[in-house]
Homo-oligomer: A and B are copies of this chain.
Amino acid sequence: MGNSNLYKGSLTTIILKLLNENDKMYGYEITQKVKELTKGELKITEGALYPSLHKLEADGLLDVEVMKVDNRLRKYYKLTPDGTKETAVKLADLETYIKTMQALVTPKLRFD
């Protein structure tokens, strides 16, 4: 995903959070929204996004609704009740991660 490998493992969190805010979104819309919200810092690739959406659906966290808009296909995803629960879990995990990393990293830097 991002320019740094730190983003590995955060895609699911990002998808769930966006769907928690936006009720229903389709894949391409997610890529654009992420680009916009991060001012271009994070660009989600389709090769990562679509398999991830499929897995979330298979795991029962997302529901799909296929629509045709302007003669183009769209697959709208929305959270299931389990998906909403999992969103809270993932966001708590992210907070813990950030606090833990800050505990490890916050101390003074040295330049010898």
Contact = CB atoms under 8 A, between A and B. Distances in A.
Interface of A: 2-10, 13-14, 17-18, 20-21, 34, 37-38, 41-42, 84, 87-88, 91, 93-94, 96-98, 100-105, 107-112
Nearest to A87: B109
25 contacts: A2-B100, A3-B93, A4-B96, A6-B9, A6-B13, A8-B8, A10-B101, A13-B101, A14-B101, A17-B104, A17-B105, A18-B104, A20-B110, A21-B110, A38-B103, A42-B100, A42-B104, A84-B110, A84-B111, A84-B112, A87-B109, A88-B109, A88-B111, A94-B101, A98-B101
Contacts of A2: 97, 100
A79 to B, nearest CB: 8
Contacts of A103: 37-38
The 7 closest A-B pairs by CB, nearest first: A5-B9, A4-B93, A6-B97, A8-B9, A8-B8, A6-B9, A41-B100
